[in-house]
Structure 1
Amino acid sequence: MRVLRASGHRVMPWKNGGGSTTQIAVAPEGAGLEAFDWRVSMADVAGDGPFSSFPGIDRTLAILSGAGMRLDIAGRASLELKAASAPAAFPADVPTAATLIDGPIRDLNVMTRRGGFAHKVTRHEARAVVSAPAGGFTLVLSRMAGLVVAEAAGAAVELGLDDAVRLDGPATLTPGGDGAFFVIELWPVIASARL
C-alpha cells in the first residue's frame, strides 16, 4: 500500500496551455505528457474550451466538484457530466470540447496509452470492497475526510480530501463522512492480445 498525499501532488500547466492540472500519479515515474503509460490527475476548469489532444491515449473523465460540464466529443451525441454522473470514457485523440454548466469545476482525468495499459474508473459513496485486477493494481482517490482503507493483510490508512493510495491486492474502503471516492483500476494489456 503506497499513500499519495494531496500535499505531494504536482501542479503543472495543461498541454494546450489553457489551465492547470494536478498530477496524482504517472508511469513511468517522472514521465512527461508525451511519454506516459498511464496518468491520473485532477484539473480545475474555469471556462469553456477544447480539450488537449493526446494521440494514442484513452481517457476517462469524472466531475469532482462544481455543477458539471457538457462534453462535445466528435462522432458522439453531447453528454452532460455532473458530480453524480458515472465517469465518461472516450478517446483522448478525437476533437473534444467542454461547456461549463454553471461556473468552474474540478474534474478527475485518468489516461492510459492504448495497447499498453487499460483502465476502469468507478465512483462510490458507500463502503466498498475492491480487489486489484489480475495483473494490475488499483488507485483510490478520496473526495472526503476520513476514508479508511484497510488491506486484507491487516495494514490500514486514513485518507483525507484528494489523498490517494495505490493497492496491489484486495482492500476494504470505509467512508468516514459525506462525499465520494473513486476506484481506478489499471492493468497492462497482454502483448498477445494486441496482435
Structure 2
Amino acid sequence: MRQLCALDIAPVPWRNGGGLTRELLAWPSPQDWRCRLSVADIASDGPFSAFPGVVRHFVVLEGDGVALGFAGREVEQRPGDAPRVFDGASAPGCRLLGGPVRDFNLMIRGGSGGMAAALPGAAWQAPVGAQAGLFARVPGRWRNGTEALTLPALGLLWFDAAPPGDWRFEPDAPATPEAPVGWWLHHIPEGMTP
C-alpha cells in the first residue's frame, strides 16, 4: 500500500514550459512505467506532450477548465466533467478557458485501466486482479469494511494488490455538486485476467 499527497511532491517543469507535473505513481518504475498517476498545473496555452502507446484519462481539478484540440475539433473539459479518455499520441493542443488550472492524469501503457467518480459514501469495488486506489480531491476517509485510512486533499491511496470488498470514501466536509470528491482508479497489467 502507498499513501501520499501531491502537495508533498516537488513539481517538475514540462518540456514545453507550459506547466508543472507532480508524479504520484509510476509503476513498475519511473523509467519503464505501465501505469502513471500525476497532478499537473497548467499555466499557459500549448500542446500536451505526446505519449505514443498510452491511453490517457484526464480530469480538471481546479480552475475554469481547458479546451483540448483534437484533429480540427475542440472539446472543453471542466471540473466535474467525466474523465476525458484519449490516445496519448494525439498530443492535443490545450487552451485555458480562464486562468491556470490543476488537473489529474491516469496514463496506461499496456493492459487496461480506468477512473470513476467517487461519490460520498457510495460503494465501489476494484476489479478482481487489479491494482487500484483512490485519488481524493478533498480530505476524508477511505473505508473497506472495518479498515479506515485518512487522506488529505490531493491525496493518493494505492494498492498493488487491491483488497476485495466495498470501498467507500467519506469526505470531511459536505460535498459540492460541481465536482466529485475523488476518483476511484484501477489498472490491470497486460497479461493479467480480471
Q: Does the TM-score normalized on the shorter chain lie above 0.5?
A: yes
SS in 1 for 2:98: coil
The one of 52, 56, 65 equivalent to 1:55 is: 52
Q: How far did residue 99 of structure 1 move?
A: 0.7
CA contact (8 A) 1:130 1:173 kept: no
Tell me by how many angstroms 1:118 deviates: 1.5
Counterpart of 1:40 (choices 37, 42, 52) is 37
Residue number in structure 1 paired with 2:189: 188
Q: Tell me whether 1:18 sits opposite 2:14 in the alignment.
A: no
Secondary structure at the residue paired with 1:85?
Answer: coil
- CA shift digits 1:24-56 (9 cap, x unpaired): 111123x13xx2111000110011110100111
More displaced stretch, 1-10 vs 35-44: 1-10
Query: Does the 8 Å contact 1:10/1:24 carry over to 2?
Result: no
Q: Give the 3 Å change call, closer, same or farther, for CA 191–74 of structure 1 in structure 2.
A: farther
Which runs of 5 or more residues in structure 1 are unaligned? Answer: none
Identity %: 29
CA pair 5-99 structure 1, distance change in 2 beyond 3 A: closer
Match of 1:71 in 2: 68
Question: Is 1:144 equivalent to 2:138 in the alignment?
Answer: yes
Task: Give 1:103's aligned residue.
Answer: 99
State the Cα RMSD in Å: 2.0
**Secondary structure at 1:63's aligned position in 2?**
strand
8 A Cα contact 1:131 1:138, kept in partner: no
1:155 correspondence with 2:155: no
2:89 to 69, 88, 93: 93
Q: 1: CA distance between counterparts of 2:75 and 2:125?
A: 30
1:113-161 alpha-carbon deviations (Å, 9 max, x no partner): 1xx222111123422212221221212111112x111123x22111111
- Partner amino acid for 1:185? H
Residue 57 of structure 1: how far off its partner (Å): 0.8
TM-score (norm 1): 0.85
Q: Distance in 1 between matches of 2:15 and 2:188?
A: 25
